[in-house]
Amino acid sequence: MQPSVVPVQVQDFIWGDAPYEMTGEPMKVPASLPVFSQSVREAASSSVTIPSVHSLVGTFPGRATATPTVDFEDMTGWKALFYDGSSGELWQTHEQLLQGDWVAQLRYQGPYQGTGRIDIVPPAAITVPAGAQRVGLWVFATEWWGWEPQTIPPSTLGLVFQDGDGQFRSLTLQTLDWKEWFWVERQIPQDWPRPLLLTAIELSDVRAAQRRSLYLDALSFYSEPAKRALPQPAPGSPAWMPSDPGATVPAAAADPVISQAGSEVVIATRSAEGITYRYTPKTGTLSDIQVEMADGRHFQPFVGGGITGQVGNRLITPQTPGVERRLLQMNVEDNSVTTRWQWSWRGDTFEFTLRLRPVHKSLVAEFYAPKGGRSLLFGRVSGINGARMVEVPYWSYIYGPSSGNPKLLAANGLFLTSYLDWNVSNASRIYAPRGTAVSKDGAAINGGAQYLPLLDGSYNPLFERVVLNISSHLDEVLPVIPHPSSTRQELLRKNLQATYMGLPSTPAAWTQAFDHLRALWDLGVSHLFVRHHEESWRDGGESYTLRDTAAPAKGGDSAVVAYVARVRNELGFDVGLYTNYVDIAPVNGNFALDWVARTEGGELMRSWPRTYRLNSTAALAFESVYAPLIAKKFGTNGSYTDVHTALPPWEAVDYDPRAPGAGVFRTVYQDYGSLLLHDQQVYDGEVMSEGGVHWLYAGLVDSNYGQVRLESGDPNVPLLVDFQLRRIHELEGDADVVVYGQTGQVGYYTHLAQVIAFGNRGALWLPADPVDSAKTYFLMQQLQQRYVMEKVAAIRYGAAEDKATGSEDLLSSEDAVTSGAYLLSRVYIEYQNGLQLWVNGGPADWTIKAAGREWTLPSGGWLAQQGDFIEFSARVGGRRLDVVISPEYIYVDPHERPLEPAEFRSLGLPQGPLVGTDVPVVLLSPNGSHRRGDGWQVIPLVAPGQQGHLELVPSMLSSTGKPELSASDRIPGSNALLLQVDGGKPYPLTLKP
């Protein structure tokens, strides 16, 4: 089918869009990274100067030396070819100016059925400069694919070349899934015969008859320079990254001793289980290790595991047949056994060192290969009968649908884990297989490490430390996270996390946000860390990182400064703005190709639809500049440092040998961890990140969204809480378990039960109905104040029997995991401060014995008690009842029917001024931090205009007179009342609008 041909047209006027202005202020990044001290915040506040805002119109923020091959300033002879039912026009226009006076615009639509194709063709084929390695193009797309409701899949942009042999070749640039300007580029395959001619800019997969626009500018061919302008890190690893072989090994009672009997080395742990490791150095693989138990059980923990190496042109694995595996040397010492190996294949050799050492009950194996090492495999655990693999919540490697999590192996009272010490790994990435099936060949509980080549074909030397933990105690096989804990425990206990997203791009945006927070304050909400999202910096799709100028359409800097001051001073809430040192937008003034990480294929590493991934060392340098700047300029006392703890460090590795620490995920881990620690030093309050793989960074940041990433993706996470409570929980105060909703949504109580069981803080997602948000606040605030970062004394699990459960019926963690009872999601937690907590995350009711009576906890129900504090969400009298009685406030939600005075008394609760209500209500004590005046504040949590009936005991209220109420007693804009009444009998009060 012949295409329709449309010549270029000139649009010599503006259709209404202002010329596009690039955003961001280029900062001078330190040539070398500073040494971060505890006094950095004070030093920064007196030394940082704020740069002036300036326009970047007319500049090329890619590479300054790259002169565009095609600048679209003269489009004489250009035309558009429309294939397969697509149609449109090609324009030279002033709209969306990038640089110069003109850009190209394609207005197009697809066929009603099928897909179309469009070629934008120059008047003559464009010669690609000899030696050019890359081609880039500025593209302004107009659809947020996946972010805004779409019915038409995005199209794909590419280039068409004719090579030196006359063959036509296509090079895909990008799927058009963003709005605003974006720099897209690709490597030109070096095996294409030269010379090359660019014959067309091609748009494919053009679907459906919906009109769209595409703008193009500054098509450039260029080559990479010999060096990249990246800052240099300080030598060595920071103190928070320990290199000690036992750093991640759980403590356990053992007294290991090493002996040798002929060619066999025996490592007896002399532990309660009688664990003995027998090492027979036959192959140099991990299959040479066997485990014996005092009860006679024996098994192999790593069948098929070990190092893989490049021998000549062949990759040799631990199971490759026909390889000569020769032990060159063995040295047995008091605390280790070291072997040196040579593997040979057809005259080529590969050498490496393997060292084994016992630490407590565990065995630590270290592999070192200066040349040729390509991976380290865990193999399979073989020879254990009756084993089950268990996915442990929060011990996660997952980032995409194909990745898996490490597993715990449980078998007849014995538990086993294995993992790589992430502090010393030299690998490009680590991985774990998906699934929990145990086959006749054993169980693959972890995967291993991969070493990928740098872009020059070289490899980093292999060093890996494998930790094998075996014990009859679950706590003795869970990885230790050897980090300092957050110093903001009291702040984290007090504050709920409040995420404010979706600010409109209007001058009233920040005023509206304050009014919403004020409505929460009027309902008694007193302790929040309010963090805003990236729209603080952007109004549309422009830059949102590495900048300190606020979104102009929302009022700019002055509006944010005024908002932060009002929220902190008038409401007493803590405030943090959005920061992110992972993403960099090409329209940001700091953008340079040098800053962008390169994939293993040599391409710029994409991040979000309009950003690339920043090299991690550059990220640390930028954070050292911007964090103090933002804190000082806007007066924030916290930060939301997005993405860093959601992204496994191996997903941000820069494979360009010109970058410091190229090809090693530990480089990213070290940079991100140091960045988060520095954030803690800069901001005088909570520093939070996104979470997901945050166990790796626990304590290096104050808090994360406590996202649980299981392989199934099921939001109904089994309440197996040991790893979270005994490893992560003591180091930081995470919030929530997922990005979720508010009161009234399906799964609300099950969601809160998960938050409580895992010891996380409550979270509000704003803007939302203030009443719903207040209900969540009062259910969580006093409870979390008693458990956040508190040490656990005991964890027990409910069994399957349908009966009242007392402490004598609860299962240990070991029994619950072995039997699978943990899948019922019934857990009892006792904290060292005396707080006792029962949580039912399962689908059926759970009846327990506690606090002197039987309680029925429905699905998503809980009971907490500590001294005179009691809180429950339980089934009482056939209906759900939420009650919190604390020194700070009393909260009651009667749900379907009123809570009568007699029913209140029958619960045996501590006496309070509220004895009956038919609406959710909170009473703020005059003696607590929630107080609003000299007397009790009674706040019905009802919608505007809703009536409710309360019964109070006036004698228990602060009194200065007779029980009279007037309009002046009401809190403006709400139903809240300051009650100052007297008398000795219950005082019925009917609230009316």
Query: Residue 1 — pLDDT band, cuts 50, 70, 90?
Result: low
Question: pLDDT tens for residues 204-219?
Answer: 999 877 888 999 999 9
Distance CA 266, CA 152 (A): 65
Question: pLDDT tens for residues 792-801?
Answer: 999 999 987 6
Which long-range contacts link 88-93 to residues 24+ away (Cβ below 8 Å)?
88/6, 88/118, 89/6, 89/9, 90/6, 90/7, 90/8, 90/9, 90/120, 91/8, 91/9, 91/10, 91/11, 92/8, 92/9, 92/10, 92/11, 93/10, 93/11, 93/15, 93/215
Query: Residue 531 — pLDDT band, cuts 50, 70, 90?
Result: very high
pLDDT at 809: 85
pLDDT at 60 over 80: no
Query: Residue 802 — pLDDT band, cuts 50, 70, 90?
Result: low
558 contacts: CB under 8 Å, gap ≥ 6: none
Distance CA 590, CA 613 (A): 13
Residue with tokens 């929460």: 520
pLDDT at 861: 97
Q: What is the DSSP string of 316-375?
A: EPTT-TT-EEEEEEEEE-SS-EEEEEEEEETTEEEEEEEEEEEETTEEEEEEEESSSEEE
Question: pLDDT tens for residues 966-977?
Answer: 333 444 444 444
pLDDT at 953 over 90: no
Residue with tokens 């800019």: 201
Q: Mean pLDDT throughout 916-924?
A: 86
pLDDT at 65 over 80: no
Share of the chain above pLDDT 70, in %: 87
Query: Residue 902 — pLDDT band, cuts 50, 70, 90?
Result: confident
User: Does an H or E element contain 786, and which?
Assistant: helix 770-787
Higher pLDDT, 713 or 280: 280
Question: pLDDT tens for residues 862-887?
Answer: 999 999 899 999 999 889 999 999 99
Q: Can you read off the two tokens belonging to residue 429?
A: 């990435």
Q: Mean pLDDT throughout 585-610?
A: 92
Burial of 197: CB neighbours in 10 Å, binned 0-12, 13-18, 19+: middle
* Mode of pairing for the β-strands spanning 763-766 and 496-500: parallel
Q: Mean pLDDT throughout 504-519?
A: 96
- State the Rg of the chain over Cα: 32
pLDDT at 991 over 80: no
pLDDT at 987 over 80: no
pLDDT at 972: 44
What average pLDDT does the chain have? 88
Q: What is the DSSP string of 627-652?
A: HHHHHHHH--S-EEE-STTTS-GGGS
pLDDT at 990 over 50: no
Higher pLDDT, 432 or 993: 432
Distance CA 562, CA 240 (A): 38
pLDDT at 980 over 80: no
Quote the pTM value. 0.93
How far separated are the first and last CA of the chain, in Å rounded?
A: 71
pLDDT at 44 over 50: no
pLDDT at 741: 53
Share of the chain above pLDDT 90, in %: 72
pLDDT at 261 over 80: yes
pLDDT at 740: 55
Distance CA 108, CA 4 (A): 13
Burial of 663: CB neighbours in 10 Å, binned 0-12, 13-18, 19+: buried
pLDDT at 504: 94
Distance CA 425, CA 463 (A): 6
pLDDT at 542: 87
Distance CA 638, CA 930 (A): 22
The lowest-confidence range among 3-17, 733-747, 951-965 is 951-965
pLDDT at 339: 98
Q: What is the DSSP string of 924-952?
A: E-TTSTT--SSS-EEEE---TT--EEEEE
Question: pLDDT tens for residues 79-121?
Answer: 999 999 999 999 999 888 888 889 999 999 999 888 999 999 9
pLDDT at 151 over 90: no
149 contacts: CB under 8 Å, gap ≥ 6: none
User: Does an H or E element contain 771, and which?
Assistant: helix 770-787
Question: pLDDT tens for residues 754-785?
Answer: 999 999 999 999 999 999 999 999 999 999 99
966 contacts: CB under 8 Å, gap ≥ 6: none
- Distance of alpha carbon 166 from its chain centroid, rounded? 49
**773, β-bridge pairs:** none
pLDDT at 729: 98
pLDDT at 237: 86
Question: pLDDT tens for residues 363-407?
Answer: 999 999 999 999 999 999 999 989 999 999 999 999 888 889 999
* Mode of pairing for the β-strands spanning 703-704 and 687-689: parallel
Q: With beta carbons less than 8 A apart as the criterion, state whether 196 and 128 touch.
A: yes
